[in-house]
Chains A and B, each alone.
Chain A
Amino acid sequence: MRPIVIMLVSLAVMQGLLLGAPDGSAVAQQARPLTLEGKQSLYQRVVAVPGAAITATAGARATQPVTPFTVYYVYAREEVDGEEWLRVGLDSRGNIRGWLPASQAVAWRQTLTVGFKDTAEQPRVMLFEDRDALIRLAESNDVNAFRTLRDRAAEGDVTDSPVAALQPEGFIDIRRNFYLVPILSHEDVLAGDYQARLLEVASVPLRFSAADDPYRAGVVFVIDTTVSMQPYIERTRELMRDVSERIAQAGLTDRVGYGLVGFRDDVSAAPGLGYVTRVYSELTDDARTFLSQVSGVRATTVSSRDFNEDPYAGIVEAIDSIDWSGYFARYVILITDAGPRLAGDALSSTGLSTSQLRERLVANGIAPWVIHLKTPSGARNENHQHAEDEYRALARIEDVGTFYHPVETGDVAAFGSALGTMMNQLTAQVESAASGFQPLQAGADRPTADEGDPALAEFQASVQRLGYALRMDYLRQTTEDGRAPLLFNAWLLDRDLEQPADRAIDVRVVLTRDQLSDMHELLRRILDRAEEGALAPNRFLDELRSLAAIVSRDPQAAQVAGPGTSLAELGYMREYMEGLPYRSEVMNLDLSTWQQWTAQQQFEFINQLDSKAAYYRALHDNLDLWVSLDGGPVDGDSLHPLLLEALP
Chain B
Amino acid sequence: MNRSVIIAIVAAGVVALAVILYFAMRTAPEPGPPPITGPERAEDARAVLDQIERAPAPDFDAAFSSAQGFQRDGQLADAQLLYFFAARAGHAESAFALATMNDPLHHSASASLLPQADAFQAYRWYTTAQDQGMEAARARLDALRAWAQDAAQAGDPEAERLLLQWR
A interface residues, Cβ below 8 angstroms from B: 531, 534-535, 537, 563, 592, 595-600, 603-604, 607, 610-611, 614-615, 618-619, 621-622, 643, 646
User: Which residues of chain A are within 8 angstroms of B77 by Cβ–Cβ distance?
Assistant: 598-600
From known contacts A604-B114, A610-B120, A610-B124, infer whether A618 and B167 are also in contact, taking CB-CB under 8 Å: yes
Q: B44 CB to closest chain A CB, in angstroms? A: 11
B36, A598: Cβ atoms closer than 8 Å: yes
Q: Does B147 contact A (CB under 8 A)?
A: no
Within B149-163, the residues touching A (CB, 8 Å) are: 157-158, 161-162
- Cross-chain contact A610 with B121 (CB below 8 angstroms): yes
List, sorted by A's number, 18 A–B pairs whose CB atoms are closer than 8 Å: A535-B84, A598-B41, A599-B113, A600-B40, A600-B113, A603-B80, A603-B114, A607-B102, A607-B114, A607-B120, A607-B121, A610-B120, A611-B121, A611-B161, A615-B164, A618-B161, A619-B164, A622-B167
6 nearest A-B residue pairs (beta carbon): A618-B164, A611-B120, A599-B77, A598-B40, A599-B42, A615-B161
A534 touches B32 (CB 8 A): no
Which residue of chain A has its CB nearest to the CB of B82? A535
Beta-carbon nearest neighbor of B165 in chain A: A618
Determine the distance from Cα of A614 to Cα of B85 in the docked complex, in whole angstroms. 20
Question: Complex formed: what's the CA distance from A599 to B83 in Å?
Answer: 13
| Chain B neighbourhood of A611, CB < 8 A | 118, 120-121, 158, 161-162
Are the C-beta atoms of A607 and B118 separated by less than 8 Å?
yes
One of A563, A598, A614 near B165 (C-beta < 8 A): A614
Of B81, B88, B124, B161, the residue contacting A599 (CB under 8 A) is: B81
**Are B114 and A614 in touch, CB under 8 angstroms?**
no
Residue of chain B at shortest CB distance from A601: B40
Partner of A596, one of B35, B102, B162: B35
B33 on the A face (CB < 8 A): yes
Which residues of chain B are within 8 angstroms of A592 by Cβ–Cβ distance?
32
Q: Mark B124-167, 1 if CB is under 8 A from A, else 0.
A: 10000000000000000000000000000000011001101101
Is B67 among interface residues, defined by CB-CB distance under 8 A? Answer: no
CB-defined contacts of B161 to chain A, threshold 8 Å: 611, 615, 618, 646
With contacts A534-B84, A535-B85, A611-B120 known, is A599 near B114, CB below 8 A? no
Q: Is B49 in the interface zone, CB < 8 Å from A?
A: yes
Asked if residues A599 and B41 are in contact (CB atoms below 8 Å), the reply is yes
Q: Nearest CB to that of B164 among chain A residues?
A: A618
In the complex, residue of chain B having the shortest beta-carbon distance to the beta carbon of A598:
B40
What is the bound-complex CA distance between A433 and B105, given in angstroms? 48
**How many contacts A-B (CB < 8 Å)?**
66
Interface of B is mostly: helix
**Neighbouring B residues of A607 by C-beta, 8 Å:** 102, 114, 118, 120-121
B120 CB to closest chain A CB (Å) equals 4
Q: Given A618-B161, A618-B165, 18 more contacts at CB 8 Å? A: A535-B49, A535-B85, A537-B35, A595-B35, A596-B35, A597-B36, A598-B77, A599-B80, A599-B113, A600-B113, A603-B80, A607-B102, A607-B120, A611-B118, A611-B158, A611-B161, A615-B161, A622-B164
Task: State how many angstroms separate the Cβ of A537 from the closest Cβ of chain B.
Answer: 8
Q: Which residue from chain B places its CB closest to the CB of A618 in the assembled complex?
A: B164
The docked-state distance in angstroms from the alpha carbon of A534 to that of B84 is 10
Whether A599 pairs with B118 at a CB distance below 8 angstroms is: no
In the complex, A599→B45 CA distance in Å? 11
Q: How far is the CA of A535 from the CA of B114 in the complex (A)?
A: 17
Q: With A and B bound together, what is the CA distance between A534 and B113 in angstroms?
A: 14
B32 with A563: CB separation less than 8 A? yes
| Chain A residues within 8 Å of B121, by CB | 607, 610-611
CB-based nearest A residue for B38: A598
Complex contact B164–A599 (CB within 8 A): no
Closest to B78 in A: A599
A342–B113 Cα distance when bound, in Å, is 78
B33 CB contacts on chain A under 8 angstroms: 596
Taking a contact as CB atoms under 8 Å apart, the answer to whether B35 and A534 are in contact is no
Bound CA span A537–B37, Å:
11
Chain A residues with CB below 8 A from B85, complex form:
535
Contacts of A622 in B (CB 8 A): 164, 167
Closest Cβ of chain B: how far from A78's Cβ, in Å?
44
Who on chain B is nearest to A595 by CB? B35
Closest to B33 in A: A596
In the assembled complex, the CB of B3 is this many whole angstroms from the nearest CB of chain A, namely: 53
| Chain B residues whose CB sits within 8 angstroms of the CB of A535 once the complex forms | 49, 81, 84-85
Q: How far is the CA of A531 from the CA of B124 in the complex (A)?
A: 14
Distance in Å: Cβ of A541 to nearest Cβ of chain B: 12
Chain A: minimal CB distance from B118 (Å):
5
Q: Which residues of B contact A643 (CB under 8 A)?
A: 157
A582–B89 Cα distance when bound, in Å, is 35
- In the complex, which residues 98-114 of chain B have their Cβ closer than 8 Å to any Cβ of chain A? 102, 113-114
